[in-house]
Amino acid sequence: MKQVHYNSSIECLSADVISRKIMPSSYMDVKLIGKCRTYKCSRNSEAKILKELAPKKAYCNLNSALDLDDRIEAEDLFLAINSSKSVKISLVNHSGRHKAQTFISEFYTFAKISKQFPNIAELRPQKTLLEPAEVKVISK
């Protein structure tokens, strides 16, 4: 299933991320996940689930997509990866004209749409982030 609206998110153990520009952002202690490396993907970005969470329960947002091959596509994405290792970003030919940057995360990954495509109408009301009540710990 593909999601394109603001605040749509995926959570998984491995994700395929592709974007025109992927920038490391910060090292953050994210609630319920732990220490994460965050990335910002801009200018046409997508993230697809390659490996589902086990057990398949959301840690960050109860509205997250969790199934294999679920994906989000947007102008900008925010990513938090629960890993002490940095990801290897590589350059690929994405379309006839444009190159893109890509990586595959191999740890818990939370990806969220922070800016949807301008040609897509906004949802009314917009999607919300729904925090799970239970506190969980993810082992690296």
Partner 1 sequence: MNNKLQHFIDKEKATVFSQSSIFRPLSSNSDTFGSFLIATTENNNINCLQGILTPRFRNWFSTFSSHESKEELYVTALDNLLKKVDYLHLTMQLDQNLIDEDEFDRELEENEDKYLIKINQDFNSIDLKLIMSITNKLKNRKFSSDEISEIFSVDIDKIEDFIDNHKTHFLENETGSL
Judged by CB, which is closer to partner 1: 69, or 84? 84
Q: How far is the CB of 1 from partner 1 (least distance, A)?
A: 22
Q: How far is the CB of 78 from partner 1 (least distance, A)?
A: 4
Whether the CB-CB separation of 88 and 104 falls below 8 Å is answered with no
Q: How far is the CB of 47 from partner 1 (least distance, A)?
A: 14
Show the 3-state SS of 73-92: EECEEEEEECCCCCCCCEEE
Judged by CB, which is closer to partner 1: 24, or 57? 24
Task: Name the phi and psi angles at 21, rounded to 5.
Answer: -145, 115
* Residue ranges that bind partner 1, judged by CB under 8 A: 7, 24-31, 35, 38, 40, 76, 78, 84-86, 112, 114-115, 125-126, 128-129, 131
> Which amino acid would we find at residue 43?
R
State the DSSP string of 104-127. Answer: EE-S-EEEEEEE--TTSPPPSSPP
Judged by CB, which is closer to partner 1: 26, or 98? 26
